[in-house]
């Protein structure tokens, strides 16, 4: 079974879901600018975990939040101006239009790299009542206090604070930057749950403490508890979320319900560009749209992410991406020469009964052992390349095996559609739009495909295409 490194316990642990399924929450985008490929690595990690669990035959219910309320004290500029408000001013749009624009862009980008659609994408702006209820509960339980319309979490009331990040209150740095020197707070480690609006007139909501807006951290606690209940299996995010965001989530959620909420915390490392962390604030960002515009297959980036363990920092270079693209094209070419089979998960029993090839069984064991070892995709890729080139194993069996493994890899190795990569990506993007009931975007994508001579035929069994 899948073993994952739990940041909370500092060790690999076997996933032991309750009730036959897995509930997971993943930190999603803040929709004021396009996501960059560093963000995408974090979102891909959640997709890798979900696919690996699903391959084992377990149901997965995945929730990913959309932060569309521009309010984050940890994301304020030096001048104290909220970046979502600044984006609205820069582009001449309302904050709602900015949020809608970059939410659509997020779904487009994730479809380009084959990230499967989550079961729910709750938006912060739609869950203000749940946020207010949770803040009220924390006040009632003695974990929070109100000062002049601001509500702060008292970290001294939660003895476990610092366990996730490995920091003690005595030695903890002030991780909540803007609020660190706030004289209203009892301690610099305390963080905002609700912020008084002051002179602000946009993205403001009524509350028992006056007009204001939620702190960044409280949103994820409120929405994860609402959608997944007070006990769930997995929480994923980037390593920069570990403190203060996830540390604060634990304090909020457990402070409200009185017991552990999340069993396993999984964090992916940064993508570096020119030896610096990729970040919107630093301006050193590359988007998947940039790479596609340069002629790269977006799934070459997904392949590139497989070439390093997710808990290691990686340096992005164009040369490395081109090498990944070349390797991916070679795999697809080799698969096309092996035959045809429908991709589906395989088991040892199936291999031995219907295939009767011990070499195939051995390859399958090695591939799954790599995946189950905390997502060791570099080792898994080596097995893929060995398997596909091993002529001692019949061609149709190799095709079946690698096609099956692609249910986890998501590299479109079985290119039965025959479409170029950018057109196949548009088909996937339209499926995401249709599943989200965004029919305006779905129709726009249909028109783009039609302009390339591709006609889509929708039916109860799904969508297929024909050349127009």
CA-based nearest residue to 3, from 41, 56, 60: 56
- Tell me how far apart the alpha carbons of residues 41 and 310 are, in angstroms, rounded to a whole number: 8
Strand (E) or helix (H) holding 213: strand 212-214
Helix residue ranges, H only, 83-201: 83-91, 95-112, 128-140
Give tens-digit pLDDT for 195-244: 998 776 678 899 999 999 998 899 999 999 999 999 999 999 999 999 99
Nearest to 216 by CA among 359, 65, 331: 65
Span 9-34, average pLDDT: 92
- Within 8 A by CB and 6+ apart from 447, the residues are none
Which long-range contacts (C-beta less than 8 Å, at least 24 apart) are formed by 435-440?
Answer: 435/117, 436/107, 436/117, 436/121, 438/104, 438/107
What percentage of the chain carries pLDDT values higher than 90?
59
For 346, residues 6+ apart whose C-beta sits below 8 A from its C-beta are 364, 400, 401, 404
pLDDT of residue 178: 46
pLDDT of residue 78 exceeding 70: no
pLDDT-derived band at 177, boundaries 50, 70, 90: very low
pLDDT top residue among 81 and 284? 284
Tokens of 122: 């709750």
Q: Which of 41-45, 82-86, 105-109, 387-391 has the highest mean pLDDT?
A: 41-45
391, with CB counted inside 10 A (0-12, 13-18, 19+), is exposed
- Provide the pLDDT for residue 79: 41
CB 53, CB 116: distance < 8 Å: no
The reported pTM is: 0.85
pLDDT confidence tier of residue 344, bands split at 50, 70 and 90 = low
Q: How do residues 86-120 score in pLDDT, each as one tens digit?
A: 788 888 888 889 999 999 999 999 999 999 999 99
pLDDT digits (tens, 9 = 90+) for 267-284: 999 999 877 777 766 667
**pLDDT of res. 74:** 42
């Amino acid at each position: 079974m899948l073993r994952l490194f739990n940041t909370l316990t500092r060790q690999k642990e076997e996933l032991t879901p309750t009730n036959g399924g897995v509930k997971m929450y993943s930190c999603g985008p803040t929709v004021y600018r396009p996501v960059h490929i560093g963000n995408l690595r974090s979102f891909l990690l959640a997709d890798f975990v979900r696919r690996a669990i699903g391959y084992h035959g377990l149901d997965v219910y995945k929730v990913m939040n959309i932060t569309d309320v521009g309010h984050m004290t940890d994301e304020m500029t030096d001048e104290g101006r909220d970046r979502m408000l600044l984006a609205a001013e820069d582009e001449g749009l309302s904050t709602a239009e900015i949020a809608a624009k970059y939410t659509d862009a997020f779904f487009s980008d994730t479809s380009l790299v084959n990230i499967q659609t989550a079961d729910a994408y709750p938006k912060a702006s739609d869950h203000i009542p749940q946020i207010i209820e949770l803040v009220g509960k924390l006040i009632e339980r003695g974990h929070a206090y109100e000062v002049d319309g601001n509500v702060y979490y008292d970290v001294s009331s939660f003895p476990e604070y610092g366990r996730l990040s490995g920091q003690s209150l005595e030695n903890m740095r002030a991780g909540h930057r803007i609020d660190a020197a706030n004289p209203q707070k009892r301690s610099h480690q305390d963080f905002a749950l609700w912020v008084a609006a002051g002179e602000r007139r946009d993205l403001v909501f009524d509350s028992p403490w006056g007009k204001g807006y939620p702190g960044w951290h409280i949103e994820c606690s409120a929405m994860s508890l609402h959608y997944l209940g007070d006990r769930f299996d997995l929480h994923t995010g980037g390593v920069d979320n570990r403190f203060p965001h996830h540390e604060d989530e634990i304090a909020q959620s457990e402070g409200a319900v009185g017991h552990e909420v999340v069993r396993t915390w999984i964090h992916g490392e940064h993508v570096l560009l020119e030896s610096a962390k990729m970040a919107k604030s630093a301006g050193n960002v590359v988007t998947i749209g940039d790479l596609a515009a340069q002629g790269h297959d977006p799934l070459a980036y997904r392949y590139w992410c497989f070439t390093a363990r997710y808990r290691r920092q990686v340096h992005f270079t164009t040369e490395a991406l081109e090498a990944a693209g070349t390797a991916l094209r070679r795999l697809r070419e080799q698969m096309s020469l092996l035959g045809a089979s429908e991709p589906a998960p395989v088991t040892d029993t199936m291999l031995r009964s219907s295939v009767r090839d011990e070499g195939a069984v051995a390859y399958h064991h090695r591939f799954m052992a790599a995946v189950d070892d905390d997502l060791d995709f570099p080792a898994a890729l080596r097995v893929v390349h060995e398997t596909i080139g091993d002529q001692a194993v019949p061609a149709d069996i190799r095709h079946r095996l690698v096609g099956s493994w692609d249910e986890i890899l998501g590299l479109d190795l079985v290119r039965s559609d025959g479409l170029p990569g950018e057109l196949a990506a548009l088909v996937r993007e339209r499926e995401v739009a249709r599943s989200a009931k965004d029919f305006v975007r779905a129709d726009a994508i249909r028109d783009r495909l039609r302009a390339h001579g591709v006609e889509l035929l929708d039916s109860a069994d799904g969508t297929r295409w024909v050349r127009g």
